[in-house]
Structure 1
Amino acid sequence: MNKIAHKDIKPKKILFTQEGDLKLIDFGLSKWKSTGKIHTTSGTPYYLAPEVILGVRTSKSDIWSLGILLYCLLSGSLPFVSDSQETVYEKAKEADVHFDGKIWGTVSYEAQDLISKMIDRDYHHRYNTEECLSHEWFMNSLSEDSRTKSESWK
């Protein structure tokens, strides 16, 4: 993969092309090969990985953000909500994500499993990009053309 840390993945940073492809936009906060200690926490609080909140960025921090985004897209809500940024941070660091409620009864087990693996609080256990893309939810849901890597993946 390209080794770029976007650092601010959220719904308004995703656009559809006329051909129906998804594109990630606005790389204003992004860094090349950005891992290790960080001096400032950048990004939108609802989508920040626990390790980023604690001052460390890893190669899997954006995977967390994408998992929160997927949760939001499939359920219509965020998993960690509060009026206080500090409470959102505490929930991200400590609260378990549950797939309760009527809406989750309509979402496949495979999608819920992928989200769980993308938002594992322990980044050592969190899926990486390749594991996400080869997960059965993607493999069962996408056409062969969609599974073929385009030039933008290289």
Structure 2
Amino acid sequence: MMILYHYNHNLVVQPKGDTCHTGNLIHPPTDVTPVTRTEEQPQDQNQETVTRALDALNHASLCKSVEGCNPDCRTIKILLQHVSICTTRKHNGCQNCQGAWWVLEKHINTCTKLDCTIPYCKYIREERANTCQRSEFNKVTS
């Protein structure tokens, strides 16, 4: 999954509340020291990866910059653009689509906003609701 690689290796996280619209950008550090993993770190690192990915997705959905105003934003915008034009798709093995849908599904599973600005969120939630209604209807009529 390409997106996991990017989030674990070279993307910069902005503190909550800061956006590209306020002019308070955080530049990547120049002296990055690799972190050695221990037995306890993978779970924490996985949670950190999810949090970073969701923060980047939220930011990118609101950001007015066409190319993205930071590496996280740029990565998400590129992945979302790819999803919209890809002919291989997630189910046929496209790694970029799998990474994009991984982030989108993490968001969609927790989103409760009726007017969500995340691409595909409202549509997928409506599709899931319709699927649940159909399966409940089939249980009742069987």
Q: What range describes the TM-score normalised by the shorter chain of this pair?
A: under 0.3
Structure with greater proportional strand content: 1
Structure with greater proportional helix content: 2
TM-score normalised by length of structure 1 = 0.25
TM-score normalised by length of structure 2 = 0.26
